[in-house]
Structure 1
């Protein structure tokens, strides 16, 4: 889809708020009785809430890439977190999504004032990603601290001592007020660098205004489970990579650590404050009814569920159990909102891409790229007639996943001689905690075969040979499974910074 090949029709303002590493069950409006999230709970009451929203990958960078392009990692190439510890090796001005059609480029070409205010984590933070008019971000992709961060703002560079959530909220409020009387509609992308959940950020002794609230919290909303074998196996594979703000021992030490859990919840309440301030500003400026307002997270985060802490790649083989896979998603479509409604349909935060284009009436003329993102507007409008396959598809390098309301199936890569990886199947309707693996149960063979075929058919359509790891493709910048891919495709296999030709022209 060429950026120039787009029809221009009257459009709404857009506010897209991302949190960093947060499963849906950590909000009051998703049933958590220990968390303090009054603003998000009220937003849910005023908006449309998705009960079954999931991510295309359980790392920060791939999910951000998918929301901004509508594509899967096997199409855009970002399969792992962008490792900013190696930023000295990056090409000058490198941005992972260069050459792809992205929301900011499409919206800007259709008359939008565009802004990124928050965590970027898709390349060099010093210079704006193509399509953004206004650029305020932080140096770190892997969040080292909620305080004392280096900031890049529209060409200037400085340090900010205070809490990053409050800082980015204030910058977002300023952007909204500045653009109140702008004839152009605006697109505000506000990816908060919280609650995050990883050390050293959630281990630091700095307190925020919500720290005291959770000081004696029992944290009964978090399960206490013994460490999984897969988590220990993964730690043995990655422990040598610790350093420069990364402490992989936390993957084994953080589960059941009450100080870390309480800090994590305090940061969620900080985000809730920020969201409340953004909503109050939009209400004050009489813009809420003219704005598509989306709240979601990049991906989930296990905080001890299934005996591991962190992303889906915190175990080996990788997983996408619900704790790491689920995300909150609350959408208010201006004055057209079906207030207080909820949906159980299976959706992905990657669907935000097509939803924004649909709501703003920006039509994709060039259909040569198969975009897996689906518009949620028919669901939001209560005009859904055929959602198609009620399933979400995701991938975490060596693990591909299809999740329905009844089952979740983890299919593992099989073409590596040294790594024998087993598939997994869970009946989530009768086993919502995903504890009993049914893959070897004869009674479920037909279920496994059906889901396997769904995955096979899906990735035949939505993958590009350059970025498809299962067929010899390479990831952009980083991979958590280099040893596996080298074993499968040869010792010369390495992540790359760009593909040899224009990816935009080769996606099918």
Structure 2
């Protein structure tokens, strides 16, 4: 018996660039399950996150808000945990997606990484939680698990463990088919940082990548912006050496092979969950979404990691481009490719649409339902994505990537502009060329207009606002807004 409302399964992975899938044209990525899914679903080729860090994107997908609205501008660092309020949940003040769904009669579960404050507080949002406290993944093995009242170390690889728990949950829900469910399955992989991916892989996909030349990742020298970031951290006494690895990882073949092997393990998890839905006759009435919190630069543009790992921060494609595959309920296994620009907040609105809930007002949330794109409706779509990375705000259109930098600082940050038609790899910065002054002016105006709506003055860093828990550039905001500037909760 089909439920009246669709079940919802969102597999949300950690640091997976949109280009590293076989179905995205990558010949070295081994992702047979994602490739198979894309042949029976809608593949979005131009999906982008609002901020290339874990916590902001997790908050955005659960609230439909931008970082300057929900207040989380970078990863929530457990280093500051002693400063957090008791059982702090970073998005507790919002009416979140799982809470909305629960009021509609959904059973809701978080299985995997939370990374939005104290992990035990996830029970404020989800009826069932099997999670972990860590955000910065040190290892995929033997992590401390929070499972209701139980505390233990999980066996085996974390992706396999959370997949097992997700399948148990699906089978449990199958026994009560009249109750729809929302499963937010958040794998803490492929991740992409040492020590978790340091050295050659030793997992079940090690042999597949042995001696692989990894030609799908270009070899580039370290960029000046990446070196400048490490230099300023040392100048401000904010680095004890841990950031130096960002200059060691690019072009390290064992690390790349290890990273790709973790993506294959993630792909296994996707396949097993899809199989569980099929075996329990749930697939036809399930909205299935595969996405990543953000992408990952694997050395492209001369840096490893996220947009914040340069000075100033950047929004180049690799770190902000995410995989997004959506299989709608009762869609007849239709294959479709959508090239329209969509974003993380749009996942939030799309789920609301398929459930039949009211869309957020345009003045409250930038979230747009992608359902018309999935169902081939003839609509007018604003083909643009907006992003922010503390001192950088950006807009991506079909032709332009424009990075606008905050100007009222002592650092004299420069804007950047790339013509994506003539320069798809984003190499030729045109922002200082007088010939493109009109383009810079128009895109600047669009960004100003956008953030005049989608920013809360309390969390608007560009206008004296602050952040929740921590910033990666606290010195910048103290120097700009005064010594009284401090993170809040």
Give the structure 2 partner of residue 395 of structure 1. 388
1:57 aligns with 2:36: no
CA contact (8 A) 2:200 2:258 kept: no
SS at match of 1:34: coil
Alpha carbons 1:95, 1:129 under 8 Å: kept: no
Who is 1:404 aligned against?
397
Output the TM-score relative to the length of structure 2.
0.96
Match of 2:317 in 1: 322
Tell me how far 1:22 sits from its aligned partner.
Answer: 1.1
What is the aligned partner in structure 1 of residue 100 from structure 2?
A: 106
Whether the 8 Å CA contact 2:109–2:182 is kept in 1: the answer is: yes
Aligned to 1:26, what secondary structure does the other structure show?
coil
- Once residues 333 and 312 of structure 2 are traced to their aligned partners in structure 1, the CA distance between those partners, rounded to angstroms, is 41
Match 1:413 to one of 406, 409, 416: 406
Name 2:285's counterpart in structure 1: 290
> Match for residue 256 of structure 1?
251
- The SS at the match of 2:395 is strand
Q: Secondary structure at the match of 2:266?
A: helix
Match of 1:68, SS? helix
State the match for 1:348 in structure 2: 343
1:194 partner SS: coil
Residue 445 of structure 2, aligned match among 453, 472, 487: 453
Residue by residue, what CA displacement relative to the aligned partner does 1:411-450 show, whole Å, maximum 9, x if unpaired? 000011x211000000011111100000112221111111
Give the number of aligned pairs: 484
| 2:198 counterpart of 1:203 | yes
Give the aligned partner of residue 147 of structure 1.
141
Matched, 1:121 2:119: no
2: CA distance between counterparts of 1:217 and 1:281?
33
- Listed as ranges, the matches of 1:223-238 within 5 Å are 223-238=218-233
* Pair 1:380 & 2:374 matched: yes
| 3-state SS, counterpart of residue 17 of structure 1 | strand
Aligned with residue 60 of structure 2, among 62, 66, 74? 66
Secondary structure of 1:415's match? coil
Deviations 1:201-248 (A, max 9, x none): 1116772111221111110000101110100111123355456xx931
* 1:372-417 deviation digits (Å, cap 9, x = unpaired): 0110011011113111x2100010000000001111000000011x
Note the aligned Cα RMSD (angstroms).
1.5
| Contact map agreement 2:159 2:187 (CA 8 A) in 1 | yes
TM-fit CA distance, 1:155: 2.0
For residues 304 and 283 of structure 1, the distance between their equivalents in structure 2, rounded to whole angstroms, comes to 39
- Cα distance in 1 for partners of 2:230, 2:332 equals 45
**Aligned partners of 1:133, 1:61: CA distance in 2, in Å?**
21
CA distance in 1, matches of 2:465, 2:253: 41
Shift of 1:10: 4.1
The residue aligned with 1:32 is 26
How do 1:217-228 residues align onto structure 2 when only pairs under 5 Å count? 217-228=212-223
Q: Is the 8 A contact 1:48 1:337 kept in 2?
A: no
Q: Distance in 1 between matches of 2:357 and 2:102?
A: 12
